[in-house]
Amino acid sequence: MEQEFTGRVKVINRRQFNTNGKYIIYWISHSHRAHFNHSLEFAIELSNQSGKPLLVYFLITDKYKYSNARYYKFMLDGILEAKKSVEERGIKFAIEKVNDIRQRIIELSENAYALITDKAYLKYHRKLNKYIADRLDVPVYEIESDVCVPVEIASDRQEPYAFTFRKKIYSLLDKYIVELKPREPKIKSVSFDFGIEEIAFNNSLEILNILNIDKSVSLSPFVGGYSQARKYLEEFIEKKLHRYKEFRSHPELDYQSNLSPYLHFGQISPIEVVLEVLSKYGRNDENVDSFFNELIVWRELARNFCYYNPNYNQYEGIPEWAKETLEEHKNDKREYIYTIEELENAKTHDEYWNSAQLELLKTGKMHNYMRMYWCKKLIEWTDDPKKAFDIACYLNDKYELDGRDPNGYAGISWCFGTHDRPWKERKIFGKIRYMSASGLEAKFDIKKYVEKVKNL
C-alpha cells in the first residue's frame, strides 16, 4: 500500500480472505464522509484487487445511551450526504435499522470476502470491534482515518502532559500529513442487491420519526455533513484564523472554527483541515501554531488518554495526586450545593455559568473556554468530587454535539487534574487548578457573552 495508508491499517484478527465471499463490506462506524476517508479508499483498493463488489454499510440503532434527536439529526445529516457522494462514485451505500449491531454485522459478514471498519478509541466501540472480529472467519481491518498521526505510533503509553506529547507528534507530522487520492472503483455496485432491508428515506427528520429515541433534547441549529464542515473551514481560514491566537479564548466573540462536532462524527478529516490551512498560511504563523495546538496536540492527546486509560470517563481515571487532594478537601464547606436538575436547567446563582449551560442547551455547543469554567464549578457546587465528575459526563454526553468523544472526556478529566500539575492549595479544590468569575471578567467581556447567549 502507498504512504497514504502507512500505520493506518491493522488486521485485528488472524483470518484468511474468504475466496468464496460475494462482496467486501465497509462498515462505516466513525468516519462519516466520502471525502478523504482512508477506510473507504482502502476498501475500494481491496475491491479492485480482489474483483469483489464493495458494500458501504451503516447501521442505525436506537439502543445507545443518550440516543436523542439532537445527536441523531446531526449524525444523519452527515450520513445521508456521505451516502449520496459514495453512490455518485458507483458504490452501494446501504442504511439499515437494527436492534443488535453485533449479530447483524456477523450475519452479513458470513458471505463477505473481508470486513473493513473504522478505528475505535472508546471502550464500547473497541469491545464491539473485537467481539465481531473474534467471531468471524474473514479478516477484519481497522483503518485509522480520524487522526493526523495513528494513536499507537504517536505514543505507546498514556502521556502525562501536552508538552511531552507535542514533541512526539510534531516530529511525525511530515510523514502522516499527506494527501489521499480517491480511487476509481472497477466494479460499480450501486445497483447490486445485497439482501438488506434498507431505510428508504433521504431526509434525516423522516428517519428520526421511526426511531424510539429521546425527543426532549431540542435539535441544534448546526447542520451536519461534509459540505457544512467545509463551509465552516473556509470561513475560519478566510475570516478568523488571522486573529485566532488573540481571540480564541474570547467566548463573546466568534473566532472558533466550529469544527468540533464535524470532527467528532468524522464528517471531515483532520488531515484535510491541516492541509487546507497550510495551503493558505505558513506553518510558522503564530495563529496556525495556536490552532494546530488545539486541532492536533490536544485533540490527539485526548485519544491517547482514552486509548491507554480504561477509566477515561470515570473519576477513578484522574491522577493519584489529584484524587488525594480532592479527597482531603471533600468535606470542606461549600457555599452552594446544587442538584443535578438545577444544574441541568441552568438554575444557579452564577449568571456566567448559567449562560454557558444555556448555550449548551440551546445550540449543542459550548465555547471551549467556558467549558473549563463550567466543569470547574461543578467541583465547587457538589458535595463529592466523584459526583461532580459524573454530572459533567452526563451533561456533556447528553447535550454536546461532540459529546461521547475523547475530547470531552479528556477535557472533563483535565478539570480534575489530568494533563495538569498541582497548584497552590485552596479550599474544596485542594491543589487542582481553580477558575473564578473574577478571572473571566479580567480576561474578556463576559457580560457581552451573557447577552450573546440570551439572544440565541
Query: Cell match 489529584: residue?
Result: 322
- Using the predicted structure, report yes or no on whether residue 24 has a pLDDT greater than 70: yes
What is the reported pLDDT for 3? 83
- Using the predicted structure, report yes or no on whether residue 165 has a pLDDT greater than 70: yes
Q: Which among 176, 243, 172, 187 is positioned nearest to 49, based on CA atoms?
A: 187
- Using the predicted structure, report yes or no on whether residue 375 has a pLDDT greater than 80: yes
What is the reported pLDDT for 433? 98
- Contact between residue 58 and residue 94 where contact means Cβ atoms under 8 Å apart: yes
Question: pLDDT tens-digit profile of 207-217?
Answer: 999 999 999 99
CA 248/CA 256 separation, integer angstroms: 6
Q: Average per-residue pLDDT in the chain? A: 98
Cross-strand partners of 114: 24
Q: What structural domains and CATH numbers belong to the chain?
A: 1-146 (3.40.50.620), 226-308 (1.25.40.80), 315-454 (1.10.579.10)
Helices vs. strands in the chain: H and E counts, helices first:
22, 6
Q: Which among 152, 406, 123 is positioned nearest to 260, based on CA atoms?
A: 406
What is the reported pLDDT for 284? 96
Q: Which among 295, 283, 280, 299 is positioned nearest to 237, based on CA atoms?
A: 280
Question: pLDDT tens-digit profile of 78-104?
Answer: 999 999 999 999 999 999 999 999 999
What is the reported pLDDT for 1? 60
